[in-house]
Amino acid sequence: MQLTCLDDDPRMERTLRRFAGRLGHELRFHGSADAFKLDVLINPPALMVIDLELGHETGVDVVLWLSQQAIRAPLVLLSGHGDELLDTARRIASASGLPVLGAVNKASMVRELPPLLERIAPSPRHTPPARGAPFTLDGQRLAAHIHAGRIEPFFQPIVAGDGILRDAEVLTRLRLPDGEVLGAQHIVPLAESSGLIPALTEALFESLLASRETLAALALDHLSVNLSVVQLDVALTTALVRRLIDGLTGCCDVRVELTESATLADSQAVRELGAQLRLAGASLAMDDFGTGYSSLRALAELPYDTLKVDLCFVAELFDSHKAERLLGAILALCDSLGLQVVAEGVETIAQAEWLCDAGVDRLQGYLFGAPMPLDELVSRFGLDA
């Protein structure tokens, strides 16, 4: 395999040549950005190693140039400036469409770089063709689907550290007459922008109430529902949740997940909603914690008892030491505030083990199951399963 490297420190050539030689890779080493660029255009590499500190033209400039040229060979970033800078540079490269295999601090290069060099395989040089046009649905059609009873709840399992089902999150789906199922991203933003959220929420809750007997077979602690706070009508929303709580009495408790979008929501109305929901007996979870929409300010202002750590933290868990430390700090915060913690987006056993060891109470993600129809949830997790 061909390994093309850019580092203005000539001593690096010997080290990299040693690593590459052991793995049987061909090394092409360049001390200047211009020579590196010319070479990757002529000889597409299987892997690129780029030092961030190069002088006037930095490694970040080179990364952006690679992106402009649509050169998509896997990339390893090197830096002597520490993990924080590496982490940000890795984000820049990934967001520019470059597959980043790793970001390595030069201080730990001898240990961390060789395993990355072992992982290279031939990769396409150009980006794959763009996908087809996105699906379009307008407010009028959505309203008609809602009235025709086509809103369907899907359920995603939420488990404890022992893998046993404890809660489930309800996620909206739209089942079209031809059987195609549309995801929440096609429905919720449109419902928000066209004033259809109350109708959507009501349709979803009615469907949950109609499935009460089946839900009871799951013996859940909580059934989680998502509420939108855009153009919020507190009285109407509280009434809908009360009806759900009453209808599911003896079956499971109701948890409401809120993401507070500071720019779109009326914060006094969101405070009122939070208070009314807790008084009605609902549990209250802050969704997507750690993203721009769920802040420490909202944590201070609303009566949350649960915090859902956004899936981006879980996805990045093993990418950098910073990610692990950040997650550890979030868990310490939850511990001191007495909040139950649910980690979202758990996809691997390694993530689940790390999270449980770190004190996360509940796990949710594709590792345990994607959102699914109720009968599937019951057949996989029901008491008789």
Binding site for ligand C2E (CB under 6 A): 156, 171-172, 183-185, 188, 204, 226-228, 257, 287-288, 311, 344-347, 365-366, 371
234/274 Cα distance (integer angstroms): 9
Q: Which of 288, 302, 351, 374 binds Ca ion (CB under 5 A)?
A: 288
Nearer to Ca ion, 93 or 363 (CB): 363
Per-residue x/- track, 339-368, Ca ion (CB under 5 A):
-----x------------------------
Select the binding partner of residue 347 from Ca ion, ligand C2E, none (C-beta < 5 to 8 A, by kind). Answer: ligand C2E
Can you name the residues that pair with 364 across neighbouring β-strands? 158
Integer Cα distance of 188 and 335 in angstroms = 32
Is 7 one of the binding residues for Ca ion (CB under 5 A)? no
> To the nearest 5 percent, what fractions of the chain are helix, strand and coil?
45, 20, 35
By CB under 5 A, the residues from 224 to 243 that bind Ca ion are 226
The b/e string for 235-246 (b: 16+ C-beta within 10 A; e otherwise) is eebbebbbebbe
CA distances, 43 to each of 2, 55, 96, 154, 374 (Å): 9, 25, 21, 49, 53
Instruction: CB nearer to Ca ion: give 260 or 287.
Output: 287
At a CB cut-off of 8 Å and minimum separation 6, what does 184 contact? 171, 172, 173
Residue 320, binding choice from Ca ion, ligand C2E, none, Cβ under 5 to 8 Å by partner class: none
- For residue 71, give both structure tokens: 């050169």
Q: Which does 369 bind (CB under 5 to 8 A by kind): ligand C2E, Ca ion, none?
A: none
Question: Minimum distance between the CB of residue 64 and Ca ion, rounded to whole angstroms?
Answer: 31
Query: Considering only residues 83, 87, 287, 361, which one is a binding residue for Ca ion as defined by CB under 5 A?
Result: 287
Among Ca ion, ligand C2E, none, partner that 227 touches (CB below 5 to 8 angstroms by kind): ligand C2E
157 binds, among Ca ion, ligand C2E, none (CB under 5 to 8 A by kind): none
Separation of alpha carbons 234 and 256, rounded Å: 14
Contacts with Ca ion in 73-132 (CB under 5 A)? none
Residue type, 268: Q
Give the burial class of 9: count Cβ atoms within 10 A of its Cβ; 0-12 exposed, 13-18 middle, 19 or more buried: middle
Taking the alpha carbons at both ends of the chain, their separation in whole angstroms is 49
- Of the pair 115, 195, the CB lying nearest ligand C2E is at 195
Nearer to ligand C2E, 326 or 367 (CB): 367
CB proximity list for 23: less than 8 A, separation 6 or greater = 1, 114, 117, 118
Answer yes or no whether residue 257 interacts with Ca ion by CB under 5 A: yes
Of 89-97, 152-160, 220-228, 271-279, the segment contacting Ca ion by CB under 5 A is 220-228
Q: Interface residues with Ca ion (CB under 5 A)?
A: 226, 257, 287-288, 344
